[in-house]
């Protein structure tokens, strides 16, 4: 995603404290929102916002969140919505601890977030901001940042207010340099309370450019693709930069290259593209003689499928080796470090200079169309109102009622294959780290960034519980976020049970008449009550005939009444 240019706001008065200078610099550098879960370390920030009426200082808008996972995941979703770097402030060590799962998701998704946290006061007495509550002893750690150092690109502690502006610039510069990711800054209370002797900013750092591919490597890849019988592109994340989607579609159409999506987290190529080979890499990988992976951490599961031995395998991306992963040994015969959009642009130009079999596109289109025909059959079959509600029926119902421009943020059941999205930026899937509780807050953050968009969060009951739903719905009411939440309630963790049966297909868990107690979530709460408790619409659906009308009513609620709504669907 291309980062927008920062705005340059000018305060009407100078900042008086380090806290004010910190906040002004965030706004000056284009950070419009500060997601907060406050604590005793926020005293100087509280004072800064209280003084704003008199000071006229331009500070980021505060987005209060009643849980740290909510705060960081909302920031994650806001970046998906508007492409701007986001800022979060957490409460010392304990707030940081609560946020680690969400930081994990942001790190593996390469989302630039400036995470800040207060630090327990350094001094026990005799300074403004020194310890004045019993928790200030117990909350101090020897290395607070150590909890998430493996996940962030940079961590630092603001030691003196004299360089607060430079520290903010350094943090944002690192967060937005590819591969992007979160950074962490801890802020001692005494330092924030200190006076500012000069708050005049220097020149803003030049935005970091993206990595462009080596021309010789592009030429080599173009040669392979031009002469292949079955060239195949594999991706799941190329659409993180929406500019890449039309380029990928053009590349495949013009030069007869098939594309398969796996581990889908974005709309990477329109689902109706004639060279779209579906969402099951194992069905086409054995046929491909050239396999080009576009910025995807797990293009295939090595224990179950792999490229054929005589195929040429190329791995591409801003970090094609995924160097922050301790182990990743997927085969590569050519590795190209490059921004995906820059690579596609260069590759189109290179292939335009080569001779490509003009019949290849038609031949491959016929070969890869089977998944689309199967999808049509499923949608047709899932029209009966008899029987229990299945995930297939739920997907068919959502496909029927979903507005074309609605955004789906999925953490479980919404199938990219069934939804058939064609518009870039209208589907977001679970981050590769899989830290549960991301989907609903991310949908809320997207709604905050794009208030005119219809945003639908599709969750399982486990993911919904992990999201701290009471905190989420309270924040929807507080910040006027009319998100539609659809929960597939089956009272178990399907991933836990299926993992056991995959490992032990002939084992006791596979043959047991009941679910493992480790996979059970019953009794399921009445989730609609969470929405109702915060002024939203809550509906419960147990019969197939009820589902489409309930979804239509919920959509009217979020679109016309601008209230959040939840549909709790009892699924088989």
Would you say 285 and 300 are in contact if contact means Cβ atoms under 8 Å apart?
yes
- The predicted pLDDT at position 11 comes to 44
Compute the distance between CA of residue 3 and CA of residue 52 in angstroms, rounded to an integer.
28
Give the rounded percent of residues in the chain with a pLDDT score beyond 70. 97
Does pLDDT of 13 surpass 80?
A: no
Does pLDDT of 564 surpass 70?
A: yes
Q: Which residue do the tokens 């292939």 mark?
A: 351
Does pLDDT of 200 surpass 90?
A: no
Compute the distance between CA of residue 137 and CA of residue 570 in angstroms, rounded to an integer.
48
Q: Which residue do the tokens 């550098």 mark?
A: 29
Neighbours of 143 (CB within 10 A): 9
Give the rounded percent of residues in the chain with a pLDDT score beyond 90. 88
Compute the distance between CA of residue 439 and CA of residue 416 in angstroms, rounded to an integer.
15
Find residue 458's DSSP bridge partners: 410, 486
Does pLDDT of 5 surpass 60?
A: no
pLDDT digits over 463-497, tens only?
Answer: 999 999 999 999 999 999 999 999 999 988 788 88
pLDDT digits over 44-66, tens only?
Answer: 999 999 999 999 999 999 999 99
| 276-284: average pLDDT | 97
Q: Which domains does the chain have, with CATH numbers?
A: 18-193 (3.40.50.970), 215-368 (3.40.50.1220), 372-570 (3.40.50.970)
pTM of the model as a whole: 0.95
Q: Which secondary structure element, helix H or strand E, spans residue 410, and what is its range?
A: strand 407-411
User: Beta strand pairing status for 484-489 and 455-460?
Assistant: parallel
- The predicted pLDDT at position 516 comes to 87
**Token pair listed for 366:** 């016929």
> Phi and psi dihedrals of 259, rounded to 5?
-135, 135
Half-sphere exposure of residue 169, counting CA atoms within 13 Å on the CB side?
13
pLDDT digits over 368-394, tens only?
Answer: 999 999 999 999 999 888 899 999 999
What does the buried/exposed string (b/e) look like for 96-127 if buried means 16 or more CB atoms within 10 Å of the residue's CB? Answer: bbbbbbbbbbbbbbbbbbbbbbbbbbbeeeee
**Token pair listed for 465:** 């519980």
Looking at per-residue pLDDT, the higher value among 512 and 293 belongs to 293
DSSP 17: B
Cα separation of the two ends of the chain: 38
Q: Would you call 231 helix, strand, or coil by DSSP?
A: strand
Compute the distance between CA of residue 208 and CA of residue 220 in angstroms, rounded to an integer.
27
- The predicted pLDDT at position 207 comes to 87
- The predicted pLDDT at position 12 comes to 45
| 308-313: average pLDDT | 97
Does pLDDT of 9 surpass 60?
A: no
> Phi and psi dihedrals of 314, rounded to 5?
-125, 130
User: Beta strand pairing status for 407-411 and 455-460?
Assistant: parallel
Q: Which residue do the tokens 């906040």 mark?
A: 23
Between 278-287, 502-511, 522-531, the lowest mean confidence (pLDDT) is in 502-511
Dihedral of alpha carbons 443, 444, 449, 452, sign: positive
CA–CA distances in Å: residue 189 to residues 17, 50, 322, 397, 403:
11, 17, 37, 52, 48
CA–CA distances in Å: residue 329 to residues 315, 320, 336, 357, 415:
11, 11, 16, 33, 28
| 443-459: average pLDDT | 98
Q: How far is CA 62 from the centre of its chain?
A: 21
- The predicted pLDDT at position 363 comes to 96
Does pLDDT of 551 surpass 80?
A: yes
The CA-CA-CA angle for residues 367, 291, 299, to 5°, reads 100
- Tell me the pLDDT band of 1, cut-offs 50, 70 and 90: low
CA–CA distances in Å: residue 416 to residues 219, 246, 458, 484, 505:
33, 18, 12, 18, 28
* Cβ-Cβ contacts under 8 Å for 382 (sequence gap 6 or more): 390, 392, 393, 395, 396, 397
- Tell me the pLDDT band of 199, cut-offs 50, 70 and 90: low
Compute the distance between CA of residue 166 and CA of residue 204 in angstroms, rounded to an integer.
10
User: Beta strand pairing status for 565-570 and 33-36?
Assistant: unpaired
Q: Would you call 151 helix, strand, or coil by DSSP?
A: coil
């Amino acid at each position: 995603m291309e980062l927008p240019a920062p705005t340059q706001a000018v305060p009407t008065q100078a900042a008086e404290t380090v806290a004010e200078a910190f906040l002004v610099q965030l706004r000056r550098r284009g950070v419009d929102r500060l997601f907060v879960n406050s604590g005793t370390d926020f005293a100087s920030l509280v004072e800064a916002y209280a003084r704003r009426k008199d000071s006229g200082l331009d500070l980021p808008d505060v987005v209060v969140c009643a849980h740290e996972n909510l705060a960081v995941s909302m920031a994650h979703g806001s970046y998906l919505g508007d492409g701007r770097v986001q800022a979060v402030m957490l409460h010392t060590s304990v707030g940081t601890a609560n946020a680690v799962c969400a930081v994990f998701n942001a790190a593996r998704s390469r989302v630039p977030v400036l995470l800040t946290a207060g630090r327990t006061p350094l001094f026990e007495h005799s300074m403004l901001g020194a310890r004045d509550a019993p928790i200030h002893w117990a909350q101090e750690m020897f290395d607070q940042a150590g909890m998430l150092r493996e996940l962030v690109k940079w961590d630092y502690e603001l030691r003196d207010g004299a360089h607060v502006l430079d520290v903010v610039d350094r943090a944002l510069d690192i967060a937005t340099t590819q591969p992007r990711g979160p950074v962490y800054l801890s802020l001692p209370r005494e330092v924030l309370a200190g006076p500012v002797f000069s708050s005049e900013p220097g020149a803003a750092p030049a935005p970091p450019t993206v990595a462009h591919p080596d021309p010789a490597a592009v030429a080599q890849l173009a040669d392979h693709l031009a002469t292949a019988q079955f060239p195949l592109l594999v991706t799941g994340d190329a659409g993180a930069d929406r500019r890449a989607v039309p380029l990928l579609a053009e590349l495949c159409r013009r030069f007869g290259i098939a594309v398969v999506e796996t581990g889908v987290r974005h709309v990477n190529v329109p689902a109706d593209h004639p060279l779209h080979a579906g969402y099951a890499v194992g069905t086409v990988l054995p046929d491909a003689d050239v396999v080009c992976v576009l910025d995807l951490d797990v293009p295939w599961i090595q224990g179950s499928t792999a490229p054929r031995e005589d195929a040429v395998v190329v791995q591409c991306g801003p970090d094609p080796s995924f160097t922050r992963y301790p182990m990743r040994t997927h085969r590569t015969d050519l590795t190209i470090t490059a921004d995906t959009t820059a690579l596609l642009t260069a590759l189109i130009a290179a292939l335009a200079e080569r001779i490509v079999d003009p019949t290849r596109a038609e031949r491959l289109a016929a070969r890869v169309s089977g998944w689309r025909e199967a999808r049509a059959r499923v949608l047709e079959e899932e029209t009966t109102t008899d029987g229990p509600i299945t995930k297939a029926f739920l997907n068919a119902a959502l496909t029927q009622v979903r507005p074309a421009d609605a955004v789906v943020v999925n953490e479980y059941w919404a199938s990219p294959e069934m939804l058939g999205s064609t518009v870039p930026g209208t589907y977001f899937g679970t981050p590769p780290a899989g830290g549960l509780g991301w989907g609903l807050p991310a949908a809320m953050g997207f709604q905050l960034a794009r208030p005119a968009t219809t945003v639908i969060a599709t969750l399982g009951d486990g993911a919904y519980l992990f999201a701290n739903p009471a905190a989420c719905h309270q924040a929807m009411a507080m910040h006027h976020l009319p998100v539609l939440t659809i929960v597939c309630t089956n009272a178990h963790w399907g991933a836990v049970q299926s993992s056991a049966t995959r490992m032990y297909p002939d084992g006791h868990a596979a043959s047991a008449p009941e679910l493992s107690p480790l996979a059970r979530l019953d009794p399921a709460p009445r989730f609609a009550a969470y929405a109702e408790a915060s002024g939203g619409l809550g509906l419960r659906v147990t019969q197939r005939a009820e589902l489409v009308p309930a979804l239509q009513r919920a959509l009217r609620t979020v679109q016309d009444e601008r209230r959040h709504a939840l549909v709790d669907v009892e699924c088989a």
